[in-house]
Amino acid sequence: MTAQFVRILRRILPRRKHPRWKKLEAALGIRIYNFDLFEKALRHPSAQRNQTRRLLQSYERLEFLGDAILGAVVAEYLYDRFPEEMEGFLTDTRSKLVSGTACAKTARDLGLGDFIELNPYMESHGGRKNNSVLADCLESIIGAIHLDSGITHSRNFIHQNILEYVDFQQLITKDDNYKSRLQEYAQARGWPQPEYFVTDTAGPPHDRIFTVHVHVNGNRLGRGQATSKKKAQQQAAHQALKSLTSNRKHFPNRS
Q: How far is CA 23 from CA 20, 39, 114, 153, 246, in A?
A: 5, 14, 10, 19, 38
Of 189, 196, 188, the residue nearest 238 (C-alpha): 196
Q: Is 139 a catalytic residue?
A: yes
Torsion, CA 181, CA 135, CA 227, CA 96, rounded to 10: -20
Single out the catalytic residue among 63, 67, 136, 148. Answer: 67
Residues 6+ apart with CB under 8 A from 13: none
CB atoms within 10 A of CB 252: 8
Q: Is 85 a catalytic residue?
A: no
Residues facing 216 on adjacent strands: 219
Single out the catalytic residue among 63, 136, 139, 148. Answer: 139
Calculate helix-pair angle for 87-97, 60-81, nearest 10 degrees: 140
Cβ(28)–Cβ(109) below 8 Å: no
Q: Which residues are identified as catalytic?
A: 67, 139
